[in-house]
Amino acid sequence: MPRQERLEAKAIKRILDARTREVVGWLYEWNTGEILPRWKDGRRENVICE
């Protein structure tokens, strides 16, 4: 079975800094079912998803 190509995605959650609650990125769900983060200014470690 061929692997499905990532063609489109939609934002499903915001990624927030755990301390300040500032939006630092978004979680996107692709048409393949993959869920991947998109960071505003680089990857962060201490985060929560809303």
Give the pLDDT score at 22: 97
CA distance 22 to 11: 17
Give the pLDDT score at 50: 92
Give the pLDDT score at 4: 87
Query: Sheet containing 35-39: which strands, arranged edge to edge?
Result: 35-39, 23-30, 9-17, 47-49
CA distance 21 to 44: 13
Give the pLDDT score at 14: 98
Give the pLDDT score at 26: 98
**Assign residue 33 a region: left if phi > 0, alpha if psi is -120 to 50, beta otherwise?**
left
CA distance 17 to 7: 29
| pLDDT tens sequence across 1-50 | 677 899 999 999 999 999 999 999 999 999 999 999 999 999 999 999 99
| pLDDT tens sequence across 35-44 | 999 999 999 9
